[in-house]
Structure 1
Amino acid sequence: MAQSITSAVHSELIIKKSRFLGCVQPIADRAAAQVVVASLRVAHPAATHVCWALLAGGQSAAVDDGEPSGTAGRPMLEVLRHQDLEGVLATVVRHFGGIKLGAGGLVRAYTDCVAQALKNATKIPLVRMTALRCSASYALEGTVRREIDAAGGLLQQVQHGEHVVFVFTLAEDAAAALTARLGEIGRGQVIWLDATAG
């Protein structure tokens, strides 16, 4: 199951006088990641490289930022993939120490920097949510509200018209049980509607 992390975690490695400052943090998307990377460039003007890797909402990135191709961003991305992370940005700021590490040394350095940071991360499972919409009579409003709440649903909107219409989100794996339960309780009086309709 895909996981994310609760907050930013950091690491620092010194390898042959080069200083690697790693950070792995939760992130929403590529645009947010680029803002973080830009702020790192400002915060570390003397840095030789600001390499990064992203896995977020189907968007991924592996940026070497001047390091030999495939020696920084890709290894960092592989660490994130190996740990089944989603919604996560890994960055490593490198201050060059004057001694070249070679391709293998760079891969190890960037991989280790991200892996070290992740040792201190608190991971949380990502729950896929689904949007649902149903209508019920006014007599069932309280019951439907209680059942949605008990199933861990989050009410987005309640519309009062001829019937009460509920728009809510719920963990995908809890949806079938809730629809069956409301079907029993409502005896056909809870009608499921297209969640994408207004």
Structure 2
Amino acid sequence: MNAYDIPAEPLSFSEEIKKSRFITLITHTDGLEAARACVQQARRDHPAARHHCWAWVAGAPSDSQQLGFSDDGEPSGTAGKPMLAQLMGNNIGEITAVVVRYYGGIQLGTGGLVKAYGGGVQQALKLLVRQQKVPMLNFSLTCDYAQLAEIERMIIRFHGQLLQSDFVQHVALTLALPHSQVAGFAQNLTDFSRGALTLAPLK
């Protein structure tokens, strides 16, 4: 699971093609529920539009379970699919694109529709402000008080985050580590504790 871009802020891009107005809305959506809510919001915001076509990559770009698209009444394959192709070609995740069409009375044909919907997303992505997301995995770890300072230094060294500390008979830690750093951290932990400490993955 490598790092990938996500939208840093929402974006709206509008253009007129043969008297039809196409408004491309880009939103950060973490998960399918957020993506569906984004589409419903676009319908509420533009109730008079003829079509609300959409595509989403609701998780990491590599997660095929998080992909979706809809032509919303346009001819099959002319809207949602080219929109999704633009999103996937940009290695961007946690994103939903909705293209709202106010029909102007002139038919564009299948090629024209593909160009309008795919092109709108392409133009919007060029303007999009992005930020990088580093996928993290959560672990629990129990250590002695004397070991805590070194473990905290290791978490920083491996670009992790200390999420929770419970001080009882021992110290119970919950930490997050970048996917790419887990193996190195685990090896350092083994070396430091001479095999006494191990990471326990959390779901």
Give the alignment's TM-score, normalised by structure 1: 0.90
Work out whether 1:125 is the aligned partner of 2:132. Answer: yes
Q: Which residue among 78, 87, 101 is the counterpart of 1:71?
A: 78
The separation in 2 between residues aligned to 1:30 and 1:195, in whole angstroms, is 24
* One-letter amino acid of the structure 1 residue matched with residue 39 of structure 2: V
The separation in 1 between residues aligned to 2:81 and 2:189, in whole angstroms, is 48
- State whether residues 8 and 28 of structure 2, in contact with CA within 8 Å, keep that contact through their aligned partners in structure 1: yes
1:116-151 Cα deviation digits (max 9, x unpaired):
110111233332211222222211112212221332
Equivalent position SS for 1:192: coil
- State whether residues 167 and 195 of structure 1, in contact with CA within 8 Å, keep that contact through their aligned partners in structure 2: no
1:33-85 Cα deviation digits (max 9, x unpaired):
22222222222122110110011133211111111111111110111011122
Match of 1:32 in 2: 34
Structure 1 segment 19-168 matched on structure 2, within 5 A: 19-57=21-59, 58-168=65-175
Match of 2:62 in 1: none
Shift in Å at residue 193 of structure 1?
4.2
* Runs of at least 5 residues in structure 1 that lack an aligned partner in the other structure: none
Structure 1 stretch displaced more, 145-154 or 88-97: 145-154
Shift in Å at residue 179 of structure 1?
2.3
Percent pairwise identity: 37
Runs of 4+ in 1 over 4 A off after TM superposition: none
The separation in 1 between residues aligned to 2:191 and 2:33, in whole angstroms, is 45
* One-letter amino acid of the structure 2 residue matched with residue 194 of structure 1: A
The separation in 1 between residues aligned to 2:74 and 2:17, in whole angstroms, is 15
* Runs of at least 5 residues in structure 2 that lack an aligned partner in the other structure: 60-64
The separation in 2 between residues aligned to 1:26 and 1:119, in whole angstroms, is 15
